[in-house]
Amino acid sequence: MERLPGFRDFYPEPLPSRDAGWSFDARQYVFDKWRETARRYGFREYDGPPLESLELFTTKSGDEIVGQLYNFTDKGDRAVALRPEMTPTLARMAAAHERNYKKPLKWFAVPQLFRYERQQKGRLREHFQFNADLIGETDPAADAELIALLIDTLRSFGLTEQDFVIRLSSRNAWHDFYQQGREGVSPSQKSDEYNFFQTIDKLERTAPEESEQKLAALGFSLAGVNRFIESGKPTAELQSILNNLAARGLHNFVKVDYHVIRGLAYYTGVVFEAFDAKGEFRAIAGGGRYDNLVKLVSGGKVDLPALGFGMGDVVLLELLKARGRLPKFDAVTDVFVLIEDEQLRSQSLKLVHELRAADFAVEYPLTPARPDKQFKRAQELKVGFTARVESDAYVRIRNLKTREEIVAGFADVANHLG
């Protein structure tokens, strides 16, 4: 039986094959860094269900994600979908219980997400995504706080300003550009602006003739659009974010880039994406403001401004591998208890158990084995110490680094394993 295309098996290291395997150790390393950095920024962890009602996603996220949904009808005849992203769930959760919390909410999650995409480099049918969101604050200081978290998360992996850049943009700037371009032209449908945004989002991945055609249908020229992008003039809002980041010494990680507009439908203001500096990989992370989503999801009952980002594990791991930033992972065993005399097995098991209770990682031979085999196993595990019960009362401890040996009282072993 093969696993489904676009899904991953995660093996403990060493990996079954150098290139093909996904490492559980590396995944855990990434999760730990995500959690550590979020904690330093005062974010609290939450989670929601991996399966939601289909409706939560169909009206809120936009056509692109709806086309990629893993959806089906469950045995109770409900239309459901595996979550393709976390933001609608978060909006639902925040709206339901916002009264219990002081604003702004600073919440993060590490959900596994599912999108029925064509499998390619950096894109799979499941991925884990670090989500950090800030709810209940309109000031651009909140946008800066979140972007600083994004930068410091990437820096926690040893990545530097030579390795990645945050491309900062604003749907407000594009909205103004759109409005000015439509002046004097017949009034546009609301969906026209969304189509315009979608065309801008795909500009870098589409042939110029095709973009030209799509823009012309909406009353714009590709040259005009490119001129606006090249000007790269920060709006007042973007300038205030840049100043805030400069005060933290983080300005070199960010550049205004109006190519970015984001594909998801719900963004309302500042938007941004993180890319590797050489442009070899797909986006590492993306996010922005979505000031209307909580209201939309709660049917108008709760109105809270919000913003956030998502960082996937797939592109990040590809980048960390390529830049040699992943540490070597080894199983950590502190002590190997040698059982050379089977008469002492019960006493040895007692020692194993007591050392584990004292928080040491302990291994021992499950079945009778030759002493040289046991010692070889201890060396393979790179343990610091071996311990051998010599009698009811004594244990011989050997430090494998210094080769020192001592005999300690049974109850005293833990004190000699430092």
Look at residue 148 and give its three-state secondary structure: helix
- The strand pairing partners of 166, in sequence order, are 254, 274
CA–CA dist 198, 200 (Å, integer):
5
Amino acid letter, 386 = T
Smallest distance, ligand HAM to C-beta of residue 108, A: 10
Which residue in the set 98, 117, 257, 341 belongs to the binding site for ligand HAM (CB under 6 A)?
117
CA–CA dist 108, 309 (Å, integer):
10
Contact characters 60-89, ligand HAM, x per CB under 6 A: -------------------------xxx--
Number of neighbouring beta carbons within 10 Å of residue 63: 12
Which residue in the set 108, 196, 309, 336 belongs to the binding site for ligand HAM (CB under 6 A)?
309
Segment lying near ligand HAM (by CB under 6 A), choices 226-234, 283-291, 325-333, 365-373? 283-291
Q: Are 313 and 128 in contact (CB under 8 A)?
A: yes
Find all residues with CB under 8 Å of 38, minimum gap 6, and list them: 45, 108, 130, 132, 149, 153
Nearer CB in complex with ligand HAM: 85/145? 85
Which residue in the set 283, 320, 337, 397 belongs to the binding site for ligand HAM (CB under 6 A)?
283
Amino acid letter, 28 = Q
Q: How many residues bind ligand HAM (CB under 6 A)?
A: 23
Cα first-last separation, the chain: 47
Nearer CB in complex with ligand HAM: 250/294? 294
Nearer CB in complex with ligand HAM: 91/250? 91
Q: Are 390 and 347 in contact (CB under 8 A)?
A: no
Smallest distance, ligand HAM to C-beta of residue 271, A: 9
Which residue in the set 111, 181, 287, 305 belongs to the binding site for ligand HAM (CB under 6 A)?
287
CB-based burial of residue 367 (10 Å sphere; 0-12 exposed, 13-18 middle, 19+ buried)? exposed
* The token pair that represents 265 in the structure block: 């439908």
Residue nearest to ligand HAM (CB): 312
CA within 13 Å, CB half, 156 = 20
Which residue in the set 131, 199, 211, 268 belongs to the binding site for ligand HAM (CB under 6 A)?
131
Smallest distance, ligand HAM to C-beta of residue 75, A: 28
| 170 lines the binding site for ligand HAM (CB under 6 A) | no
Task: Annotate 274-295 with b (16+ C-beta within 10 A) or e (fewer).
Answer: bbbeeeebbbbbbbbbbbbbbb
Nearer CB in complex with ligand HAM: 145/215? 145
Nearer CB in complex with ligand HAM: 123/259? 123
Smallest distance, ligand HAM to C-beta of residue 69, A: 12
Q: Are 256 and 226 in contact (CB under 8 A)?
A: no
Which residue in the set 148, 284, 378, 389 belongs to the binding site for ligand HAM (CB under 6 A)?
284
Smallest distance, ligand HAM to C-beta of residue 181, A: 26
Residue ranges in contact with ligand HAM by CB under 6 A: 85-87, 115, 117, 123-124, 127, 129, 131, 133, 264, 283-287, 308-310, 312, 314-315
